[in-house]
């Protein structure tokens, strides 16, 4: 079964630094997502991306966040000037079609996550 | 707007007990999917099931079963004969254009 790959699995950064979280979605998937999970809390939607542009973003996704698909295979989340409260697990996901449609049983395929710790 | 409510924050059972995790959803859409995910202590999200809103048949997969009741907007998950390895946080989710998760239920199964 194809996988969504996220790197690194764990990143520690100093407050105020910029971080880039990387994801390689499944190759025939067209829709990409980032989710955030603060420790012990729910998984929250950050942003969805289709056709090289943001299709929807949540209130959490403010100006310090940006996403990019730089080379047709990677999908990145950049956090400028990290804050302590950005410490969380960040999940990348992809889907074949919008609304989780497509031939995949899963609808959405999630990566294993990047645990970001801001110190 | 979509919303998923998992009223049970934490459930503790002894091994071999049956346990049901509740999920109530809200959506204004007529077509949607419902999902359950397991999150073990290692942190990844493990897909358990996806159910189309038009398919109200209950599903059984081994010790797992799901009861979808459109009339009450519920999609409950039952684990039969629970095992220690079932200890995890379980998330119910629904989608239209994006996936929205409930707050999760932490299940602890004691030997």
A60-86 pLDDT, tens digit per residue, is 999 999 999 988 889 999 999 999 999
Grouping H, G, I as helix, E, B as strand and the rest as coil, residue A35 is strand
pLDDT of residue A104: 75
Give the one of B43, B44, B101 whose C-beta lies nearest to A42's C-beta. Answer: B101
Cα torsion angle, B54, B58, B61, B64, sign: positive
The answer to whether the peptide bond before residue A8 is cis (omega within 30 degrees of 0) is yes
Q: Which of A8, A61, A98, A99 to mutate to test the interface with B (most CBs of B within 10 A)?
A: A99
- Say how far apart CA B14 and CA B107 lie, in whole Å: 11
- Say how far apart CA B101 and CA B41 lie, in whole Å: 18
Higher pLDDT pick, A114 / A103 = A114
pLDDT of residue B5: 97
- Close Cβ partners of A62 (under 8 Å, ≥ 6 residues apart): none
Phi, psi at A81, each rounded to 5°: 50, 70
pLDDT of residue B97: 75
Does B99 contact chain A (CB < 8 Å)? yes
Give the CA angle between residues A82, A84, A90 to the nearest 5°: 70
- Say how far apart CA A68 and CA A71 lie, in whole Å: 9
Token pair listed for A64: 């310090």
**CB A90 within 8 Å of CB A33:** no
Judged by CB atoms closer than 8 Å, whether chains meet at A100 and B50 is answered as yes
Does A57 contact chain B (CB < 8 Å)? no
Q: In which band, very low, low, confident or very high, does the pLDDT at A103 lie, cut at 50, 70 and 90?
A: confident
- Say how far apart CA A56 and CA A37 lie, in whole Å: 18
Taking chain B (111 residues) in runs of 10, the rounded mean pLDDT of each run is 94 98 93 94 94 89 95 96 98 89 97 96
Higher pLDDT pick, A55 / A105 = A55
A1-44 pLDDT, tens digit per residue, is 789 999 999 999 999 999 999 999 999 899 999 999 999 999 99
pLDDT of residue A37: 98
Count other Cβ atoms within 10 Å, centred on residue A103.
Answer: 7
Nearest alpha-carbon partner for A33 in A86, A110, A115, A97: A110
- Say how far apart CA A89 and CA A43 lie, in whole Å: 9
pLDDT of residue A101: 77
**CB A15 within 8 Å of CB A119:** yes
């Amino acid at each position: 079964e194809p996988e969504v790959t996220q790197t690194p699995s764990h990143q520690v950064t100093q407050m105020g630094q910029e971080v880039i979280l990387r994801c390689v979605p499944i190759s025939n998937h067209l829709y990409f997502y980032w989710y955030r999970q603060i420790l012990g809390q729910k998984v929250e939607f950050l942003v969805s991306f289709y056709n090289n542009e943001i299709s929807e973003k949540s209130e959490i996704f403010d100006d310090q966040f940006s996403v990019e698909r730089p080379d047709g295979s990677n999908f990145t989340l950049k956090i400028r000037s990290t804050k302590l409260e950005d410490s969380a697990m960040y999940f990348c996901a992809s889907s074949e079609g919008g609304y989780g449609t497509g031939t995949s049983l899963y609808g959405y395929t999630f990566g294993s996550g990047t645990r970001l710790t801001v110190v | 707007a979509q919303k998923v409510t998992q009223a049970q924050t934490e459930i503790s059972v002894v091994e071999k007990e049956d346990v049901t995790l509740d999920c109530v959803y809200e959506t204004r859409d007529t077509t949607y999917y419902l999902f359950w995910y397991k999150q073990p202590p290692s942190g990844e999200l493990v897909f358990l099931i996806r159910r189309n809103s038009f398919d109200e048949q209950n599903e059984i997969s081994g010790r797992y079963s799901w009861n979808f009741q459109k009339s009450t907007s519920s999609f409950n998950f039952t684990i039969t004969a629970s095992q220690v390895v079932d200890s995890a946080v379980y998330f119910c989710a629904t989608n239209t254009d994006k996936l929205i998760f409930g707050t999760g239920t932490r299940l602890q199964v004691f030997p």
